Structure 1
């Protein structure tokens, strides 16, 4: 608990420091206000947008595309990862294709996907899905390789088939890795949702708001306010997923946090037990 409080305090200190620097630079006139307004004005505009129904509708459209793309990526990547990790022949057959597709940037596919699907939500969801598949896929394959082989062999000795071993050992053992991949993919999906709206310029959404604001005569403040909203959504999504991981997988090593007092007491007992 103390470690989490210290982390929260340090994080808040960093945010306040960055806020103070941006505010000072904006007020001092080192950079023109049309390029970098004071942080207080940007924050005030971001709060003001919370009461703008049209803006909130756009944010909802972005989150809807984000959720659809992330859900499709999960539905594709997890079964495929389990297949590649449990059937070596399938992994060897698809490895070259995966290594070819993985480095392709999703943003570069906007013209092709727009040509095939048109300029709409379908294009945005397709690009989000493509970018979000890879962290989930590789985390699933990696997690499957880290499951306990003794547990697998034990079930096989008792006559359980491959499917039963997969459902009883592999899937539960891989679940924390899948959750970590989902957290990475969630951030990637949000980045793609906003970036696709900015670059394509169609539809409604947070990215569309930012793209239209940058064309205005004095739109820097709105652009930065939109960026504040995008960052806040990213922090909120990551926090919610981390909390879900801690509740669902408390046995995972990264979630087993022993308080400092318990560690000291445990080490003292261990040293005392070793004394003659």
Structure 2
């Protein structure tokens, strides 16, 4: 039993290090999850209320304490309702166990091939939908299309989105540096205030970005505009340089769409806010 006692003593020595390392890893993953789902705003709101309550307790502001105590349960319920999409994303990620997997992203040369194909399709007014999954598993979406498992090349992408082709109307999935599938069906957005001028592709790109953390590239068949959808927001009519820069940033670091603004001259379509007449808000950059 001497070896067991030695092992126990060694474990007692390293146990605090292991404990702190695991806790730090879980805190990092929790922060990463909150940032990617935009639920960090929920945490900020809760922290703001806690700060006010702490001030009221410290300075013995009994009336403010009483008011916050009464309002707190209702406020937390209201926050849960407002941030319901973000909370849904959190539980989807936890359920699918994708939080601890590394991001899979195409290389720079492969991204350039995708952008080149998007430019060609834009000039020829051919619509396209390209999905770049990040951490959330979209196997159910991939299975709705045709397996390709081909190398990423601009000629193959253009060929797949040819007019009247069997895979033209569906979405292409690019994952692990390869074209994994094409002709896939994406869920349509549940947002009610989407511009009527946006067709099925834009609605599908928004729907996919609402239900996953994927980044979706859209080429409009009507206008030729190249756009990106991520986290339920649509960055409309970006230049090829902007698309490449933003795609690389999103796929490299998995940042939220709001962390990086398009360059001057581009337009962000804020689908979650409307003007008095019900039209979408366009924020000129």
Structure 1 length-normalised TM: 0.26
Structure 2 length-normalised TM: 0.25
Larger strand proportion, structure 1 or 2? 2
